[in-house]
Amino acid sequence: MQIIVVPELRVAQFQTFSNKALDITKDLKELAPQVAEAKALYDIFVAGMTRDQASSDKKLLDRTRDKLNTGFFNAVMSEQIFPHESETAKVLDQLVKITDEYGFELSRLTYDEQTAQTDNMLKKIEALDLSALPSLSRWIEPLKTANDNFKAVSDEYFQQLNASKDTKAATEAAEPLVDALNKLFTLLFSHANVTGSAELIKAYKELTTLVSTYK
């Protein structure tokens, strides 16, 4: 047997690798303290992965919201060219005043500011009767849904942070976990060679195979 170490992995790969390594070693009584230490660090790492994923979702949902806002504002600009009847033109003028107030600058605001301002804009728009402007009214529900989806993910992300304020992001939490796993591998190697335990040798061979699959 040769001493093995954690291979260089992408963050998502490292989560899978660590989980499998801990599963292989979880019942090794001789190394229970080291396994427990690695498991505690793994839990911190996974919490960081959850935070990173929530942040990533926010970016994706914000891009969706930005695209819908841009499409809506462009549709309002195009609609102004069409020769509407007097009453419909009046409603369109009111809508234009609202979109001019918020406009394309929305996408340049911070997440929280954009969320609040989009809500404010939609409330003003929903007070208008856009039934005579179906090409514009169709945008309202998708815009509202996109903003609500973003708010839901933001609330979830805030709750995660509030529940575990000292949770480290995954990339930061990965380093001590790598060290703990390497320490665990080294001690297992030593114990297996000294004791000749069939259980320890079997576990070490399984870890060796696991490491080789990521090379």
Q: How confident is the model at residue 10 (pLDDT cuts 50, 70, 90)?
A: confident
Block residue for tokens 């969706």? 64
d(CA 182, CA 23): 15
Contact 185, 207 (CB under 8 A): yes
Q: What is the pLDDT of residues 147-161, one digit of tens each?
A: 999 988 877 665 555
The pLDDT of residue 50 is 65
Mean pLDDT along residues 38-53: 80
**Phi, psi angle pair for 14, to nearest 5°:** -65, -35
The pLDDT of residue 165 is 44
Expressed in angstroms, the distance from the first to the final Cα of the chain is: 17
With a pLDDT cut of 70, the percent of the chain lying above it is 90
User: Token pair for residue 20?
Assistant: 């499998």
DSSP per-residue codes, 148-195: HHHHHHHHHHHHHHHHTTTPPPHHHHHHHHHHHHHHHHHHHHHHHHHH
Q: What is the pLDDT of residues 160-171, one digit of tens each?
A: 554 444 445 677
Mean pLDDT along residues 102-130: 92
With a pLDDT cut of 90, the percent of the chain lying above it is 68
Q: How confident is the model at residue 179 (pLDDT cuts 50, 70, 90)?
A: very high
Contact 92, 133 (CB under 8 A): yes
Residues 6+ apart with CB under 8 A from 140: 122, 125, 126, 130
SS3 content of the chain, % helix, strand, coil (to 5): 80, 0, 20
Q: How confident is the model at residue 11 (pLDDT cuts 50, 70, 90)?
A: confident
Block residue for tokens 């309002």? 76
Mean pLDDT along residues 32-43: 94
**Phi, psi angle pair for 82, to nearest 5°:** -70, 140
